[in-house]
Every structure is written in C-alpha cells, then in structure tokens.
Structure 1
Amino acid sequence: MTVPHGPWLVADIGGTNARLGWVEGPGGDVCHVRTLPVLGHAHPHDAVRAYLEQVGPLVDGPAVPRRAALAVATAVGHDEIAFTNSPWRFSARALQQTLGLERLQVLNDFEALALSLPRLGAGQLRAIGPGLPRPEGTLAVIGPGTGLGVGGVTRTRHGWVALPGEGGHATLAPADEFESAVLAAARTRFEHVSAERLLSGIGLPVLHASVAEAMGQAVELLPAEVIVERGVAGVDALCERTLDTFCAMLGGFAGSVALTLGARGGVYVGGGIVPRLGERFFQSRFRERFEAKGRFRGYLHAIPTALITDTLAALTGAAFAIEQDGA
C-alpha cells in the first residue's frame, strides 16, 4: 500500500470544541494544534479557514493541505453530517470541494480515537487498577465528554481495523437499589435513559438532579462544571455523591462494553470529564464496578483499564486513518 503524500489536515470535532492539527506527511507528528470553539464559527469550513490562517506562517510551504481527516462527534454513514450535540452540519463532498482537497475522510470521533490506541505508550496513559492495556486482540475505548463516545479496534491480518458505533446511546442499567431510584427519577424526564443521558457533560446535570431526587433532597439545577468543581473540592455532599455515582456507573458501563466487544487487550477511558476528577476518580468504585459482572468477574479482572492522558490521541488516530487509506 502506498501512503499518500502530505501535507494533511486532521481535526477532532466535538460538541463544544474543534481541535485541529497539521501533519507534514507520512510518519510525521501532529503539530501546530489549535482549539477553536464550535459556537464561535458558523460552519466547519469557517473553522478550518481560521485555523489555516493561524498556522500559515508556521508550516513548511503554503498552508494548503492535500488531504484531511475529520473525526466528528456524531454517526457517520452518509454525505450529510449533522452533529448530535452542536448546531454544525455539512456535506462532506461540498466541504472537500470548497477546501480544494484531493480527498476528505470523515470518521466518527471514537473511530479515530480507537485507531490511536495501538500506538499509545505508557507516557500517554495512566493505569486504572493493575497494569496497562496491551496492544493485541481487541481494544475498546469509552469517553465521557460533551457526549459519551464508544469505539473499538481489532487486529486483523491486514492491520488494525476500527469498530465505530454509537454505544453511548445504549440503555443504561442500574446495579443496585440506589441506582434504580436514580434511573427512575431520570425516566420521569426522558423516555429513554441512555448511558450518555447521565454519563457525559450534558448528562451530569441530569444525574445530579436524579441523585437529589433519589436521596429525597431538593433539586438545584447546576451546570456540569459547577458539579465537578464542588464535588472535587468536597464542599457539597450532593455533588460528591453525584461524582461517586458517575464513576461507579461509568465503570459498570465500561465492563459491559468490554464484554460486548471481547476487548481482552484493554479498555481505555478518554473524553474531557474524567481528567478533571483527579484522584477522586482513581479512588472511586470504577474498577470495582468494571469487574462486577457475576460469573464473568474473572474474565474482566484480567482486562486492564487506563485513562488516556494524551489530549491529541484522536488527531493521531485521524492521521493513521489517512495513512491506511492509501494513495
């Protein structure tokens, strides 16, 4: 397979921010990374143009990428891309023509993050429990950010193949009576309580309100940032209980993903929320609940879990997608 010539533009576009980077060519590192607010630009084209203007003086030659790979926080399968948690939408064909690209690849953001997993080293990870994941067999990744992403990657004789999906929208299951009460409270507001509905940036306020109802307390509507800040600081018992519930339920969900994909090489945690929890996350019930699957406790006990500490991992995966696409 011939690897396409550079330079390349890579992007990781979520519901809140668009992170863009530059790759000079095959084997090159992602550089000149900039983060642009989604709501600050009317269209992805505007964000790309703003980025190219910023990095133009820094790149080797004109800031005209030959190819691009965009990792987007929504389902991908048609030319028209509509984001789940932001107002952005675009036609992939039209964007390719507007930017003058030889080829534009659009992939799910967790497909890109999954493609980065086999290349992540110990310096880009922090173990959750004993040991780090092993780049073998099948690997899985979950990521609570604005939404909740889920993806996987498996080794084949042709190389690593990503397993994209929308697992964050799978129905969330309780593990005890308290979680049953939390979900019952959430169901009074939503017909379907998915994992993303509670275990994400948009879900934390819902989880906080549902925990309050389950505890028989008055509901104070708080944004996710405040819930995290108060809970981590230990100045609000309800916010603390919310974060403890978040970590426990995330662990149970991660264990279900591991079982579904057969991710015996490891399960990785990405997204922007968990790093903000600091040591509270590593002292939480995440790993306990990850393994708490009855007869398959031993199966899950052998699967390592780790937090991705490298914020550029999805961009690296997007660059790998271009490499694998060929000339």
Structure 2
Amino acid sequence: MQQAAAPGAQPESWNDGPWLVADIGGTNARMAWVGAEGAAVSCVRTLPVAAYATPADAIQAYLATLAAEQGAAWRAPRRAAIAVATAVAGDEVAFTNSHWRFSRTGLQAQLGLESLQVLNDFEALALSLPRLGAGQLRAHGALPQAAGTLAVIGPGTGLGVAGVTQTRHGWLALPGEGGHATLAPADDFESELLRHVRGEFPHVSAERLLSGIGMPTLYRGVAGVLGVAPAELTTEAIVQAGLAGTDAACSRTVDQFCALLGSFAGSVALTLGARGGVYIGGGIVPRLGERFFTSQFRARFEAKGRFEPYLAAIPTALITDTLAALTGAALAIEQRDA
C-alpha cells in the first residue's frame, strides 16, 4: 500500500491511489482495490445486491472489511469508478434489474471521495480491452492487437455493445445501445425464423434473440421453423440440452445463436471500423465451450460479400476473464484529465 509523502516531497498527482473500482449488476456487485496508479486490481470481493439496501451500504461494508485486514496500512480511497448495468445520464442512477438507485453526488459525499466516475458496464468493459492479455482471452487464431479501434459484444442477461478507440490522449470509450439494433437474416431459414419471432415482437432486435432473456424466444422461433412444439424451457435448459444433443430444436438453437452472433459481430465491426479486433464478453458464450469455436460464428462474421477480405483480417476473441470490467474502471480513473 502506498504511504503518505514525506515532507518536502512532490505533491500527489491526480492519479495517485488508492482507488476503489466496482462492477455492479442486477444480482452481484464486484468490488476491488487499486493501491496506486498502474497497480493491478486486488482484494476482489463479490457482494449480493439483495443483501444491502443501497450501493453505499455495500461499498462501506467492503471498505470496512479491507480496513480491518490492512490495519495500520489502511488508507481510505481517494477516487472511485463504478461500472453499472444500466444507462448513465444525469445525477440519478437507477438499476433496471434491482432495487438499487443512487445519486452520483450523494454517493461521492457519503464515501468522502475526491472524485467518482460512473460508467455503463460495457463502457468499462471496452476500456479493459487494450490491457487484456493472452491468459484472459481465447481467440479464433491470432489474438487481437491493442491498436486502432476495438469492439466488444456481450451476450449476458441482455446484449451489450461498445467500442474503444485509440487517440493521442489515451483510449476513448464509445458506449452505445447497439444490442437494440434490428437483427437481419442471412438465409432463408433465418428469414422464416424472424417471421415467427415477429409474431411475438413487432421489432426483433439483436437482444431479442442473442441474450439470456432472448434465448427462449430464439428457441421458440427455431422450433416453429422446424415444425415442432416448443417446451417451456429456460435459457440454461436450452443450452444444456443443446450441448448434450438430447433435443434437436435446442441443438439447432445453440448453433443458430452462434451463427446470428457472428453476423451481428461482423456488422458491428464494419460500423465501428474495429480493425484491431472484436471481443465477445458476457456470460453465455463461455458456457458453450468448444461448440462456439466449431460453430459458424467466424464464417458468418466474415460473410459480408465484397467486404469479406476486410473482415477476414479482423481478429475475434472470447474474453475468459470475468473481472475485466474492473480493469476498465481503473483505466477510466488513470485517464481522467490526463
């Protein structure tokens, strides 16, 4: 832990630690500690959102535990960056999938921080991309390069999309709501699939099918095209049966998920000009294991007609590190006013 400056030493810079970083979803809040600029995140803890009335309560419980562990070396954090699984606009932050809400200025005052940055969770994940190493990724062939523009797509509960681009001042995150872009079919089967899904939803976004909440919808659409009666299955049950090969509609759903994700990822790469690489995050794809890497994902990623050579040169990789967003939050602090 960094010690206080000695008399006559240079004043601390804006980026001197310690810092608090957090990644808060609807179910869990992951928190971590950064002792000083450039240090790795450490002391990671996962706290259940349901166990605390407010984010401040959870953060203060985490800090109290650290203070007890560190004893005389303890210093309260000066700055914090929090990634949240919701849109960020204005002072008030309300979570879509939990009871938590907070005021950004109020939370900063409660925690006694000099600065508090609040980022969308995929903005933080995008900022982590330049620092991800081989041990945190599994690539289709060559690893992405931390240069130019990078994109990340994350099928989890929903579907997050973001980018990050290199500038002379550092890495600039490009947050957005790309998961709600209209999903396009690439063949006759998918055209018929989307026709079935439009019977439930007038607008079929990528998130409607390529997410945890969307997998059952995708399964019902696939069953409709195959002419079989769909069962009432959860996403977990669909993935399990699909990987085991015990249900033809579930198996086709898993394959269709990978193919549609590849097409969508290719469209994101073209839209952002993400020639440095496209990363897949979120919790669903890691559960598919080898099936993802033997699927049509990569072929469909490249299948963009005249721009196939452009996409063939763009590497794609699966993020295997579930704590990557914490690293991105730390980079947000480092780059503040840099």
Is the aligned partner of 1:237 residue 2:248?
yes
Give the distance between the partners of 2:33 and 2:139, measured in 1 at CA.
29
Quick one: percent identity of the two aligned structures? 70
Shift of 1:154: 0.8
Write out aligned runs for 1:40-119 (5 A). 40-59=51-70, 61-62=73-74, 64-119=76-131
* Cα pair distance change 1:87/1:172, threshold 3 Å: farther
2:316 paired with 1:305: yes
Higher mean C-alpha deviation, range 16-25 or range 251-260: 16-25
1:213 aligns with 2:224: yes
Q: Distance in 2 between matches of 1:37 and 1:267?
A: 31
Give the Cα–Cα distance (whole angstroms) in 2 for the partners of residues 251 and 147 of structure 1: 17
Letter in 1 for 2:111: L
Name the CA distance, whole Å, in 2 between partners of 1:298 and 1:88.
46
Calculate the TM-score normalised by the size of structure 2.
Answer: 0.91
SS at match of 2:212: coil
Structure 1 counterpart of 2:272, which letter?
L
Judge which range, 262-271 or 35-44, deviates more.
35-44
In structure 2, relative to structure 1, the CA distance for the partners of 1:86 and 1:259 (3 Å cut) is: farther
Bigger radius of gyration among the two: 2
For the residues of structure 1 that align with 2:204 and 2:69, how far apart are their CA atoms? 46
Give the Cα–Cα distance (whole angstroms) in 1 for the partners of residues 64 and 221 of structure 2. 45
**What is the Cα deviation at residue 72 of structure 1?**
1.2
Per-residue CA distance 1:51-85 (angstroms, 9 max, x = gap): 23443333464473221111112222211222344
Whole-angstrom distance in 1 between the partners of 2:49 and 2:266: 32
Q: RMSD of the alignment, in Å?
A: 1.9
**Which residue of 1 is the match for residue 273 of structure 2?**
262
| Aligned-partner SS, 2:279 | strand
Query: 1:26 aligned to 37, 42, 49, which one?
Result: 37
Partner Cα distance (2:75, 2:157) in 1: 30
User: Which structure is higher in RCO with an 8 Å CA cutoff and minimum separation 6?
Assistant: 1
SS at match of 2:32: strand
In structure 2, how many angstroms separate the alpha carbons of the residues matched to 1:216 and 1:117? 42
Residues 295 and 24 of structure 1: CA distance in aligned 2, closer, same or farther (over 3 Å): same
Comparing 284-293 and 39-48, the one that deviates more: 39-48
SS at match of 1:217: coil
For residue 69 of structure 2, what is the amino acid of its counterpart? L
Residue 256 of structure 1, CA deviation = 0.5
Q: Equivalent of 2:160, from 137, 146, 149?
A: 149
Any idea what SS the aligned residue of 1:259 has? Answer: helix
**108-117 vs 247-256, which deviates more?**
108-117
Which amino acid in the other structure matches residue 103 of structure 2?
S
Alpha-carbon distance, 1:326 to partner: 4.2
SS in 2 for 1:228: helix
Deviations 1:235-283 (A, max 9, x none): 2222211111111111111000000000001101111111111001101
Aligned to 2:326, the other structure's residue is in SS state: helix
Offset, 1:195: 0.9
Q: Which runs of 5+ in 2 are unaligned?
A: 1-11
Q: Distance in 1 between matches of 2:60 and 2:165?
A: 35
- TM-score (norm: length of structure 1): 0.94
For residues 114 and 99 of structure 2, the distance between their equivalents in structure 1, rounded to whole angstroms, comes to 27
- 8 Å contact kept, 1:85–1:147: no
Question: Matched residues in 2 for 1:10 and 1:229: separation?
Answer: 34
Matched position secondary structure for 1:246: helix
